[in-house]
Amino acid sequence: MRSVSFRHPYYMIAGAALALLATSGCAWAQESPSSYRIVGYAGGWNPAQTKDAGKIDTLIFAFAGLKNGSVVLDENDAKRLHDLLALKSNNPKLHVDISVGGWTVGGFSEAASTPAGRQQFADSAAQLIAAQHADGLDVDWEYPGHHESGIHSSPQDKANFTLLLKAIRTSLDRVGAMNSRTGANHYTLSIAIADGPFVSDIDIAAINPYLDWFNLMTYDFVNANTSTTGHHTGLHASALIAGDGRTTDRAVEQFLAAGVAPRKLVIGAALYGREFAEVKPDHHGLYQTYGHFQGSHNWPELKQDYINKQGYVRYWDTAAQAPWLWNAQTRRFISYDDPQSIAAKAAYVKAQHLGGIMYWEQTLDPSDELLNDMWRGLR
């Protein structure tokens, strides 16, 4: 994972069977309106962060693999997952899910292309969740019908993705019933999903009934593959953004228009920044062409070495509700989230009655500063 008005009730999409599934299988999204969730992806766990584990509702382990059509964990991955699951002993309300996939991870299109392949994927995932005593599955296929990450895709991915999620939901419910995981305690199913053109081959309305929530990857809007700089995780549209450029608010509107309930939408925040070099200097580098993508910096690096240091000056885009750094001497530009933009996102979640905030990735903020900002903002 590297890494949008509830007008059409999702139980109207299909018949009575889907109606029962939609109402009984999505308890996560039907919590009290006063409770907003923090969902964090985690490749591992820093013991120093354990003090803040109670502020997280769901940790999603990244990543299980896909091998010969089955969802699997190798020995090293199982050890890292165990470190996350161990947190539950002192935090009984914490949920730990397993995500399968991630950027450049293929095999999804092939597995989803046949009924047998979908069943193998679904059964292996459900059995893994039960065997590891996890709480649910997150599917991170980047992206159905697309091959930007170098994976195989097919024109049939759109229909097959829906069928795959249907099979997974059925397997999770069946295995869950065998392990007393039913009702509000059922095994959850979520997906990591982008927006804009990257969901062109996903039928959002059709997959909606099978999912407990959507993890909106509202970050990496600008990256090494885009033609300009910009806010890589901006909340609203900047005055300088071109056309239908991607923003968090536009992503949310896209999913609401497809009939997804607001409470099932969890917007993304980034614990890292994106840097661009040889940037055209107009508007302090914002939404300008650049020579090359320089790289990424986690939050501690940004604070220690970049924000208002070494020639990098912090600017704030009032329209976008997002910060950026500009170094006029080196013509370098950095886009990132900080406490001010996190506060704006938390206020937006409350105003729109969304599900909460998701972030990538736990180990990129060892002090939990931005996690604490999310927690305070959503209280």
Q: What is the identity of the amino acid at 250?
A: R
Cα–Cα separations (whole angstroms), residue 336 to 43, 160, 350: 20, 35, 22
- In angstroms, the CA 49 to CA 115 distance is 43
CA separation (Å) from 136 to 43, 60, 189, 310?
16, 9, 6, 44
Instruction: Return the axis-axis angle of helices 115-132 and 157-178, rounded to nearest 10°.
Output: 40
Which amino acid is it at 125?
A
Beta bridge partners of 356: 37, 266
For β-strands 272-277 and 292-298, DSSP reports them as: antiparallel
Residue 306 to residue 304: CA distance in whole angstroms: 6
Task: Report, as residue numbers or ranges, the catalytic residues.
Answer: 142
For residue 228, what are the β-bridge partners?
Answer: 289
**Contact status, residue 5 vs residue 256, Cβ threshold 8 Å:** yes
Pairwise CA distance, residues 224 & 134, whole Å: 35
CA 222 remoteness from chain centre: 16
Burial of 226 (0-12, 13-18, 19+ CB in 10 A): middle
Q: Which residues contact 235 (CB under 8 A, 6 or more apart)?
A: 247, 248, 249, 320, 321, 322, 341, 344, 345, 348
Strands 136-140 and 265-270, sheet pairing: unpaired
Q: Provide the token pair at 364.
A: 């990129």
